[in-house]
Amino acid sequence: MVEWESEGIGMIHPLWQRYPDVHRQLEATQALLQARTQLRDPQINALVQAQVTAGGKMLRSGLMFMLARLHHVDNRQLIHAAAAIEALHLATLVHDDVLDGAATRRGQATVHPSAGNRSAIYAGDFLFSVYFDLLADAAPDVADVGVNARAMRRIFLGELDQNSAPRGAALTIHQYLRQIAGKTAALFALATYQGMRLADGTEAELVASYRYGRLLGMAFQLQDDLLDFTGDHRLAKPRLEDLENGIYTLPVLYALQAKPALATTFAAAQHDPAAKATAAREIRALGVPQALQLATRYTQKAEAALQAFPASPERADLVHLTHALLNRHQ
């Protein structure tokens, strides 16, 4: 069992125990976010707070701290910037849950089933306001606001690309990679860039940190796709969940490219257990190896981006974290 597979409710993910200073910073980040996300409505407040403390990896804020460690920076600005990133991420998740009709996330009830879609949307909007409030505390410079605004634009465009795709229609691989570049990788890149920005990195280091985060975000999402077919029962995400929901992830797209006739079986997998088993077997054989190969390439490129920084124990820690992300499927 790898370190990614156990998530304690209301606790910092065990992943960060390897880095005690980051673990401490994440505790402070979570406490600040809890304080800033209090709502007057008791029911909605309880649901939002449950999401805040649901035991996720806090990977984006953790990466921000990991980049700042390269220059040994640890200050109040970083905590506020990390809480801002988490608020932005949580806001997008609350809205996603409404669009997807998801009843749970990280084992916790989502906002909309109990509070209704309207209240959930407003709760997500409130979290966006928390993001800007925390951002103003952390990075009052206009240039920093511009970087965050452009990142939000990429995130929303990725969401629009995903939701504007015809229901049940397969994407091209290029379209899919463009979607996740906006939906997932943009927020990773913002986190790593902000960490280096608040650590007063050079222009070259800022470019490298942004590139590292973007490539790592791509690899992370591709590994998430792979977990649907390669993960085991101990993972928080059930196996074949994406397949049952008819979601065209990269392994599916590669398999359909190799065997177009698989499309019929894939469509039937949503309601036919036999078709689901057949589709899973075919996708593991035809799609998973290629998807894993691409995820590996993204990860290797992310690691290469770190070579812009001098060799140090902190850089070695980032390399280790990068490898851990690649090996989540094992």
105 strand-pairing partners? 108
- In order along its 330 residues, the chain shows pLDDT tens digits of 333 333 333 578 888 999 999 999 999 999 999 999 998 888 888 878 888 887 678 999 999 999 999 999 999 999 999 999 999 998 888 877 777 776 766 566 777 777 788 888 888 888 988 998 998 888 656 556 677 777 778 777 777 776 666 555 678 899 899 989 988 999 999 999 999 999 999 999 999 999 999 999 999 999 989 988 987 544 555 678 889 888 899 999 999 999 999 999 999 998 999 999 999 999 999 999 999 999 999 999 999 999 999 999 999 999 999 888 777 644
CATH number for 3: 1.10.600.10
Residue-level pLDDT at 234: 46
Instruction: Answer with the one of 71, 105, 140 that is the final residue of a domain.
Output: 140
Considering its fold, how many domains does the chain have in total? 2
Task: Tell me how far apart the alpha carbons of residues 61 and 86 are, in angstroms, rounded to a whole number.
Answer: 7
**3-class state of residue 55 by DSSP:** coil
Distance, in Å, from the CA atom of 299 to the CA atom of 227, rounded to the nearest integer, reads 16
Cβ(211)–Cβ(305) below 8 Å: yes
Query: Cβ of 207: how many Cβ atoms within 10 Å?
Result: 15
Domain around 62: 1-140
Residues 130 and 236 in one domain: no
Pick the last residue of a domain from 91, 114, 140.
Answer: 140
Mark whether 54 and 70 lie in a shared domain: yes
Indicate whether 117 and 232 sit together in one domain: no
Is there a single domain that holds both residue 152 and residue 219?
yes
> Domain boundary residue among 101, 124, 140?
140
Contacts of 320 (CB under 8 A, 6+ apart): 18
Do residues 125 and 198 share a domain? no
Same domain, 44 and 81: yes
147 shares its domain with 34: no
Tokens of 190: 């913002």
Both 303 and 281 in one domain: the answer is yes
Instruction: Name the maximum alpha-carbon separation found in the chain.
Output: 57
Q: What values do phi and psi take at 105, rounded to 5? A: -150, 130
256 and 202 together in one domain? yes
| DSSP assignment of 300-324 | HHHHHHGGGSPP-HHHHHHHHHHHH
Indicate if 147 and 121 belong to the same structural domain.
no
Q: How far apart are CA 13 and CA 9, in angstroms?
A: 9
**Pairwise CA distance, residues 159 & 201, whole Å:** 31
